[in-house]
Amino acid sequence: MEYVDEFLLIVIAHFFAVASPGPDFAVVLKQSVQQGRRNALWTSAGVGAAILLHVAYCVLGVALILTQSPSLFMALKYLAGAYLAYLGVQALRAAKPPASNENSIDNSIKSKTVQEEPVWLAFRRGFFTNALNPKATLFFMSLFTLVISPTTPTSVQVGYGVYMALATWAWFSMLSVMLSRDNVRGFFQQRGYWFDRGIGVILIALAVRVVI
């Protein structure tokens, strides 16, 4: 019971952080529509696993190094921006389907003839999207310096991290299930050409925002 108040603050702060739209949401939305539920769930698992990375370097004290080294943190921002820009450009380069194929989208969804990428690739995409997100880095640095007391045992801090990883995974898994429903996918895929470009523009805008 000693750390209940601290834990509740973490729960509230984490909820608002994970629910706010950002790169994680954009990537999960993209994968849900383009690749389907299974792929999106693995992408969500990657996002959740990346939380453990943030917790690990905060517990080990690496977060302090980042706060004391602006050049290192700036390098992280540029790396994250480059990765998001890469994903955005890939989406923008999606070819417009022939008119004859647009009418068969619903059938391809129902018959599951759309070729899915390997699940490890989906997991990797989700992991790196979150791991390289400076917004997440700042959130966890703030959390472990302002909310979590230095006297809190390491085992308790790790427990907080496991909770946030599981909560993040559950949140994006729920979104994956909702966004990968046939009617939702059908709506977006009927406008797939413009959907790809919209997601591409969003990802590139997020990349610019991350850097500046």
The model's pLDDT over 161-195, given as tens digits with 9 standing for 90+, comes to 999 999 999 999 999 999 888 887 776 666 555 66
Predicted confidence at residue 97, as pLDDT, reads 53
Segment 108-116 long-range contacts (CB within 8 Å, at least 24 positions apart): 109/182, 109/185, 109/186, 109/189, 110/182, 112/36, 114/35, 114/36, 116/35, 116/36, 116/38, 116/39
Overall domain count for the chain = 1
């990797």: which residue's tokens? 124
Whole-number mean pLDDT of the chain?
79
Domain of 43 in residue numbering reads as: 4-15+23-211
Predicted confidence at residue 59, as pLDDT, reads 84
Predicted confidence at residue 112, as pLDDT, reads 46
Q: How far apart, in whole angstroms, are the C-alpha atoms of residue 154 and residue 143?
A: 14
Q: Confidence band (pLDDT; 50, 70, 90) for 201? A: confident
128-155 pLDDT, tens per residue?
A: 999 988 888 888 888 887 788 878 888 8
Helical residues (DSSP H) of 20-149, grouped into ranges: 23-34, 37-60, 62-68, 70-92, 99-102, 105-111, 119-131, 134-142
Q: Confidence band (pLDDT; 50, 70, 90) for 125? A: very high
Lowest average pLDDT, out of 90-94, 96-100, 196-200, 204-208, goes to 96-100
pTM here?
0.72
DSSP state of 152: S
